[in-house]
Amino acid sequence: MRRETQNILLILLGGALLKISFSGLYLRYVQKGLLPLLIAAGAIMIGLALFAIVRDIRRGQAVDDGHGHGHAHSSRSTWLMLLPVMAVFLISPPALGGDVVNSAADTNQTQRSRNLLGELPSGDVIPLSMTEFVTRTAWDESGTLDGRRVRLTGFLLRAEGDTFVARLAISCCAADARPLKVRLTGDVPALPDEQWVEVTGQVVPKSASEKNSWVPSFTVESFTPVAEPVEPYES
């Protein structure tokens, strides 16, 4: 592959990283904390390519960078760098959703350690993350959630006649997503699958057990359809 083409590929790839960083779309793929690294990586890629381009222009032609014999081999694989570029600019894959939750075996695997079960905040309706809700239903034996009105945010999912509200949690990138889901009863929203909702209601006490893979039941009192949050995953 020609040096000029490599430079263009680097600029495109760096540009793709910067694009998802500044548009906020990176949150579909990786966790929030990676943002500075993404911007730095994109800028460095573009910088390295520009440096080479400026150098070539000054010299009047593309110089061989001293590894001539290595190029014939590496040139073919370098083309693959186009794939993420095209995926980002043309397809812009959506955040993971129901497909992952349905095919996962490790739903609602929370850690006792995570919860350090503190007191719930006071107030009529407590907004809780799915992670905290599921963790409390699985590990908290004192039943701090019982009788409290809670609001959860997630997307709808239907399987085996039941309706669930589900969400994914990631620790690094979407490849390590862990699914969380809660079975809905009561005023179950009649909305299409994958629609994001805020559901308000109460946990059915002692409904999460090892037998149902720690999926608690939740009595819905009211719900509102909402747009997909900017941060689709919990962390």
Return the residues of window 107-126 that contact other proteins according to CB under 8 A.
109, 111-113
Single residue of 95, 157, 166, 220 touching other proteins by CB under 8 A: 95
Q: Are strands 162-169 and 217-225 parallel, antiparallel or unpaired?
A: unpaired
Q: Which is nearer to other proteins, 86 or 226 (CB)?
A: 86
Single residue of 11, 26, 137, 196 touching other proteins by CB under 8 A: 26
Q: Which is nearer to other proteins, 134 or 199 (CB)?
A: 134
We find the least distance from the C-beta atom of residue 26 to other proteins, in angstroms, to be 7
Q: Is 100 in the site for other proteins (CB under 8 A)?
A: yes
Q: Is 226 in the site for other proteins (CB under 8 A)?
A: no
Q: Is 87 in the site for other proteins (CB under 8 A)?
A: yes
Single residue of 51, 57, 127, 226 touching other proteins by CB under 8 A: 51
Q: Which is nearer to other proteins, 46 or 197 (CB)?
A: 46
Q: CB of 202 within 8 A of CB of 218?
A: yes
We find the least distance from the C-beta atom of residue 14 to other proteins, in angstroms, to be 9
Q: Is 173 in the site for other proteins (CB under 8 A)?
A: yes
**Token representation of residue 208:** 């999460």
Q: Which residue has the tokens 């263009």?
A: 8
**Token representation of residue 98:** 């129901």
What is the C-alpha to C-alpha distance for residues 183 and 216, in angstroms, rounded to an integer? 6
Binding span for other proteins by CB under 8 A among 55-63, 119-127, 142-150, 157-165: 55-63
Q: Is 106 in the site for other proteins (CB under 8 A)?
A: yes
Q: Which is nearer to other proteins, 61 or 142 (CB)?
A: 61
We find the least distance from the C-beta atom of residue 10 to other proteins, in angstroms, to be 7
We find the least distance from the C-beta atom of residue 58 to other proteins, in angstroms, to be 11
Binding span for other proteins by CB under 8 A among 92-100, 158-166, 184-192, 221-229: 92-100
Concatenate the DSSP letters of all residues of the chain into one string.
--HHHHHHHHHHHHHHHHHHHHHSGGGGTB-GGGHHHHHHHHHHHHHHHHHHHHHHHHHTSPPP-S-HHHHHHHHHHHGGGHHHHHIIIII-PPPP-HHHHHH-S-TT---HHHHTT-PPPPSSEEE--HHHHHHHHHH-TT-TTTT-EEEEEEEEEEETTEEEEEEEE-SSBGGG-EEEEEEEEES-----TT-EEEEEEEE-TT---TTTTT--EEEEEEEEE-PPPSS-SB-
Binding span for other proteins by CB under 8 A among 40-48, 139-147, 154-162, 219-227: 40-48
